[in-house]
Amino acid sequence: MNLTRQIEQYLPSQLLELVQNISRQAAEQGQRVYLVGGVVRDMLLGYPNFDLDLVVEGDAVKLSQQVAEAGQARLLAHHRFGTAKLKYQNFTLDLATARKETYARPGALPTVTFGTLKDDLIRRDFSINAMAVSLAREDYGQLIDPCQGKDDLEQGLIRILHPESFSDDATRILRGVCYQQRFGFEFEAQTAQLLKRDIPMLDTISGDRIRHELEHIFEEERPELAIKRLGDLGVLHRINPFLTGDGWIADKFDKARRLKKPNQLSPLYFCLLSYPLGERDIDQFLARLNVPAKLSRAVRDTLRIKAGLTLLGRPSLKPSEIYYLLCGYEPLAILANAIATESSTVQRHLQLFLTKLRYVKTSLGGEELKALGIPAGPQMGKVLQALYKAKLDGEVRTRSDEKKLALSLTLKLER
């Protein structure tokens, strides 16, 4: 099957010219270049995807060096893996030397040797990701599909390429559910059976790799679909017994999205996913997923705030009291609680902190107080604190209000 017409319609012309150019340079060295993986799958489905992965039969690093020198690209190469990234102004291209993989033991990173395009395709996760399109002049546009991925795409099936696939690399369980939900596909019957059989193999996977796949899921339009399925299958439970994927998560993820803060969305989902954990379970969870420091802080704070929510639910709280209850916590954790809580009072208090209280500043600082004759030292500290509290509670508004209060406080303190 030849896809020349589809490629030309699908890829933006700038990108098309670029990959054709790379393919020409490869040909001069007797190498061949193919489009592979997600872009081929999405082109056949008619979904946009301009994250291009190219496989090179030959030497991807050497080819990328040449391409970078000839064009306006920045090169990031990994000689050991035979991979390279070419960064252009508007996009990046990933190039990889075709490779063959063997697994020394389940869950281990594979032993890699260089191979043919077919070797490279049959080591992949699912048939729908194991297709390539040739960019070489001799067979330009030819679909290479050794695992019948196109049939599976048409039938809406997620299929692994050999029975030990999930056990070799159990991250494929998470990946499979992600694609299944993204495309509304089914698992092919044997794949479904093996997936269930191999859920315990998740124990062989490092924390970083599991977390990375969860973050891959968090990039989905509606990640709660995959999270729910992972919950139903017992995958979340295997990662941590307290994680659930029930309707609560769906509702909260939806609320998180409606805030329209794309940069914070992934860590926010992560905090919401952690929300059912108790404070005592948190260390084990963070260690299992090797969560980096900043995100760990946000998760810990999320659960600490949750533990103190009764205090935050008192309707009579003054703004300054809200401020001092929350000022030591990560804003992301406060936001997660604002989404998670069912109490409208708590929510109001958390939002007040996030939108207003945390930005409050007094007009007068130490220098101005000195000019008013208040000596530096503990006394000034007390005045500054009292000023701040009064400002939070709206008891002083203007600079002259602050001056008046500072002077009267000083008199009181001197008495």
Which residues of this chain interact with ligand ATP, rule CB under 6 A?
A: 37-38, 51, 53, 124-125, 129, 169, 171-172
Assess 219 for contact with Mg ion (CB under 5 A): no
Burial class (CB in 10 A: 0-12, 13-18, 19+), 293: exposed
Q: With CB cut-offs between 5 and 8 Å by kind, which of Mg ion, ligand ATP, none does residue 169 bind?
A: ligand ATP
Q: Which is nearer to ligand ATP, 182 or 382 (CB)?
A: 182
How far is residue 345's CA from residue 363's CA, in Å, rounded to a whole number?
A: 30
Q: With CB cut-offs between 5 and 8 Å by kind, which of Mg ion, ligand ATP, none does residue 172 bind?
A: ligand ATP
CA distances from 118 to 1, 12, 144 (A): 17, 27, 8
Q: What does DSSP say about strands 52-57 and 92-97: parallel, antiparallel, or unpaired?
A: parallel
Q: With CB cut-offs between 5 and 8 Å by kind, which of Mg ion, ligand ATP, none does residue 124 bind?
A: ligand ATP
Residue 78 CB, nearest approach to Mg ion (Å): 17
Among 2, 9, 47, 51, binds Mg ion (CB under 5 A): 51
Residue 219 CB, nearest approach to ligand ATP (Å): 8
Q: Could you tell me if 293 and 246 are in contact, meaning their C-beta atoms sit under 8 angstroms apart?
A: no
Residue 209 CB, nearest approach to ligand ATP (Å): 8
Of the candidate spans 45-53, 177-185, 211-219, 320-328, the one that interacts with Mg ion by CB under 5 A turns out to be 45-53
Q: With CB cut-offs between 5 and 8 Å by kind, which of Mg ion, ligand ATP, none does residue 120 bind?
A: none
SS3 57: strand
Q: Distance of alpha carbon 316 from its chain centroid, rounded? A: 39
Assess 38 for contact with Mg ion (CB under 5 A): yes
HSE (CB half, 13 Å, CA atoms) of 216?
17
SS3 305: helix
Q: Which is nearer to ligand ATP, 49 or 363 (CB)?
A: 49
102: which 2 tokens? 């063997």
Residues in region 126-185 near Mg ion by CB under 5 A: none
Strand partners, 55: 34, 96
Residue 163 DSSP code: T
Residue 84 CB, nearest approach to ligand ATP (Å): 15
Q: Which residues bind to Mg ion, rule: CB under 5 A? A: 38, 51
